[in-house]
A and B are shown apart, each in its own frame.
Chain A
Amino acid sequence: METDKKCEDVSNVLGMVLAGSLTEGVRIKLASNVSTEQIKVGTFVSIRGELMRFFGVVTDVSLDSMDSSLTSIPPDVTNPFIHEVVSGTTVYGTLTVEPMLTLGDDKDPTSSLEGPLPAKTVPAHFAEVSIASETDIEFIFGKEDESHFYIGTPLDMETKLCLDVKELVKRSNGVFGKSGTGKTFLTRLLLIGILQNSAAVNLVFDMHSEYGWKGSSEDNKEVKGLKQLFSSKVAVFSLDEESSRRRGLTPDYVAKIGYGEIEPEDIQLLRETMGLSEVAAESSYNLRQRLGPQWLRDFLNLKSEQLLELAQEISVNERALSTLHNRLSRLKRFDFINESDKNDSVKQLLHYLERGMHVVLEFGRYGNSLAAYILVANILTRRIHDRYVYLKDRSSVDGIGEPRPVVITIEEAHKFLTPGIAGQTIFGSIAREMRKYNVTLLVVDQRPSGIDEEVMSQLGTKITCLLDSERDVNSVLSGVSGSRKLRSVLSRLESKQQALAFGDALPMPVVIRTREYGSSESYRELGWKDDRELAQQVKSDVEDLFGPDTS
């Protein structure tokens, strides 16, 4: 019925546009039946302009009154009738909405076929503002399908909000948030999204062994890792076989690294973590030159009196060399480093990746050692990158297929990407060169301000939970249009399960409530089948192939 329809429309109307600008956002007067308490910053709204529809995000909510004297002589609100009358008229709420997208004329269906475009103007006066509908969200962020991964829901809505995974994997991305805000959950979801979409393969440097077999939620409940959900597509490598087995997992491969694989650049990266002076770190280059590929093994085998000799030989400060020797000796404690030069960890890794298997490298007990993490991630990434550069170059020359894109997930990313060294490390190169060689990063960090600014600006999509400090916020939002308004949204995120997402994979910044993860229902939604279902599946597959079992 027409009247019913009207009623429904009315109930969704929040208010009307009264003022504003594209740079400052538009000011919206709330309708008298809408309380400011009903609208949260980050809420997604739709504005019906004269020629097109606008989509935007609420960036501020404020109280206003028609009459400035009202603050000194408030109306008699002890009388409920007066209270009701005055609210929304004499006093009212206003919203500031950042117009993000325009949709073309909704009366002309062809115009909206082009999809949403960035807003380059603001809606006209008195345009009607309403909370975005499910169809709006679907239209803008796409329906859940093979290239659109359901990551969460907009605030106060039950609509599935999707990331464009194809766009996501084209560039390096970042997940930020202070500890305990759900970075790991978000990352796990993104990994699954990439995995399901088959757009790329993941290589996860799983510092705390949370992604491979199982992880734990905030309330210490166990949640399934990738391997459990997608066993046929995921391989778990382990640096610490004992730890893996203890947790009920037989790793697909136990990774080892030979001393010969460690390069002076790796030492450079470990400088801060291992407390090396610049001179000491630099001297590793001299050692490499003097001692050859097995420089580290040889160096660590030297006795202290031999060090003096060597120092003179390669004209390096003796004390510095001694410190270096001292510190690097700690690496001996890492059992995954051996003296063999026949380790094929990298080869295995590439082998899996090239087959389209997603690889999670668990650090086990070494996860507590940042040095081990940095060292391994750096060495492996460098080798993979070299290989990809080779493959990519060869493909362009020989015309064979390009290597399968790989997304490398690193945690504590600022250790690899601090402003001082980002220019030299392999991660810095990967971040900057984008997907030229089909290698991109998924940067997970709680301290984005420690990451090189240039790297940050190269991240295609950023998903950030609540951050600790102003500097981190600045760093995440630098170079983003409308950052001032996003900042207020970001600073008001709830500490759990909420994140602000913006960048290439989304047509506009949006606050999401992260999709639920951890219940069997949620696993099933992600495509997991329990044993019974699996058996059923096998049976029906068999029947499909060979016909019903008649015996």
Chain B
Amino acid sequence: MDASADNGNRSSDLVGVSKGNYASTISPFGEIVEASTTYLLAQCHRLYAAPSLGDLVRTEEDSTAFSVVADVSTKSIDPSRRPLAMSQGEDTVDDIYNRHPQISRLLSTEISLIVVAHKADGKLFRYLSPVPTKIHAQVSICQFEEVRELTMSLEFLSVLITSSVGSPDDVVAAFLRTASVSHPDPKKFLVDAGKHIAAILAGDVHRLNALLRRIS
């Protein structure tokens, strides 16, 4: 929907998620509704109040699972009801949502998450937890320090690159761009990460080119 950005901003203000920047907020933005060891689906507490593509998020329960936002979608909660175009004349999206307040109750924003790491007993492991996250676990955006700690080493990048969720190249690029800010030398971080990717994508120059262009 053309207006998602506009609405997304409005919604995110409500939960204090500042875009593209791992803010100090730790309040959960959503809840896990589907879980496997590799993949999580979270539903946002508020419509459009989703983190950005590539953001690192954490789920908190016995052990913390770290995952990367790979896809954000907003759709009808009831699969048998689909939204119909509603604008009349020069309505803005806000006009439509105001005129039909029920719409925001009938839609939900869902976030597909690719699990990349976990933390158990205070130790960080850059691979999958043996046990999947529980349904209804709260999900929140990672803090700056956590992002830096996790991205000190990037062996989990191949998980993101080979994933089939969303558009993996955009996810990887967004993730790295966002994470780079948490490092003292973002440029160097990106170059190192790029080299990592180049090794993984050896033999696929087209994709490597496309991915690197997104990062630069």
Contact = CB atoms under 8 A, between A and B. Distances in A.
Interface string A451-464: 00000000000000
A194 B199 CA distance: 55
A89 B153 CA distance: 17
B86 interface: no
Contacts of A86: 194, 198, 208, 212
B195 A66 contact: no
Contacts of B191: 81, 84-85
A86 B208 CA distance: 9
Given A67-B203, A73-B205, A79 B198 contact: no
Q: Which of B194, B198, B203, B213 has the most CB of A within 10 A?
A: B198
A79 B205 contact: no
B215 A81 contact: yes
A81 B215 CA distance: 8
Contact of B199 (A74, A75, A89): A89
Contacts of A89: 194-195, 198-199, 202
A82 B193 CA distance: 11
A32 B195 contact: yes
B123 interface: no
Nearest to A68: B203
Nearest to B191: A84
B202 A79 contact: no
A62 B197 CA distance: 23
Contacts of B72: none
A69 interface: yes
B194 A75 contact: no
Contact of A81 (B190, B199, B202, B208): B190
Contact of A79 (B204, B206, B212): B212
Interface string A32-75: 10000000000000000000000000000000001101100111
B195 A75 contact: no
Contact of B205 (A75, A80, A81): A75
A79 B213 contact: yes
A445 B208 CA distance: 56
A157 to B, nearest CB: 28
A66 B199 CA distance: 9
A66 B202 contact: yes
Nearest to A85: B194
B209 interface: yes
A84 B191 CA distance: 7
A75 B208 contact: yes
Interface in A76-99: 76, 79-82, 84-86, 88-90
A88 B203 CA distance: 15
B194 A81 contact: yes
Given A79-B216, A85-B191, A90 B206 contact: no
Contacts of B208: 75, 86, 90
Interface in B162-216: 190-191, 194-195, 197-199, 202-206, 208-209, 212-213, 215-216
Nearest to A70: B205
A69 B194 contact: no
Interface in A118-154: none
Contacts of A81: 190-191, 194, 212, 215-216
> What is the predominant secondary structure among interface residues of chain A facing chain B?
loop
Nearest to A79: B216
A400 B195 CA distance: 73
> What is the predominant secondary structure among interface residues of chain B facing chain A?
helix
B195 A88 contact: yes
Nearest to B202: A66
B202 A82 contact: no
Nearest to B209: A76
A85 B154 CA distance: 15
A76 B213 contact: yes
Q: Which of B195, B199, B206 has the most CB of A within 10 A?
A: B195
A81 B195 CA distance: 11
A90 B202 contact: yes
A73 B195 CA distance: 18
A274 B204 CA distance: 72
Given A76-B213, A89-B199, A84 B194 contact: yes
A418 B175 CA distance: 74
Interface in A492-528: none
A82 B213 contact: yes
Contacts of B212: 75-76, 79, 81-82, 85-86
Nearest to B194: A85
A69 B209 CA distance: 13
Contacts of A73: 205-206
Contacts of B199: 66, 89-90
A73 B210 CA distance: 13
Nearest to B195: A89
Nearest to A77: B209
A88 B206 CA distance: 18
Contacts of B194: 81-82, 84-86, 89
Contacts of B213: 76, 79, 82
Nearest to B198: A89
Contacts of B205: 67, 69-70, 73-75, 90
A90 B216 contact: no
A70 B208 CA distance: 11
Contacts of B203: 66-67, 69
Contacts of A90: 198-199, 202, 205, 208
A85 B197 contact: yes
Contacts of B204: 67
A82 B208 CA distance: 9
B206 A85 contact: no
A76 B207 CA distance: 11
A36 B115 CA distance: 39
Contacts of B190: 81
A316 to B, nearest CB: 81
A85 B197 CA distance: 9
A500 to B, nearest CB: 36
A467 B91 CA distance: 85
A332 B195 CA distance: 79
A82 B190 CA distance: 10
A118 to B, nearest CB: 37
Nearest to A86: B198
13 contacts: A32-B195, A67-B204, A67-B205, A75-B205, A75-B212, A80-B216, A81-B191, A81-B215, A84-B194, A86-B198, A89-B194, A89-B195, A90-B198
Interface of B: 190-191, 194-195, 197-199, 202-206, 208-209, 212-213, 215-216
Interface of A: 32, 66-67, 69-70, 73-76, 79-82, 84-86, 88-90
The 6 closest A-B pairs by CB, nearest first: A85-B194, A81-B216, A89-B198, A66-B202, A82-B212, A89-B195
Given A90-B199, A90-B205, 6 more contacts: A69-B203, A76-B212, A82-B216, A86-B198, A88-B195, A90-B208
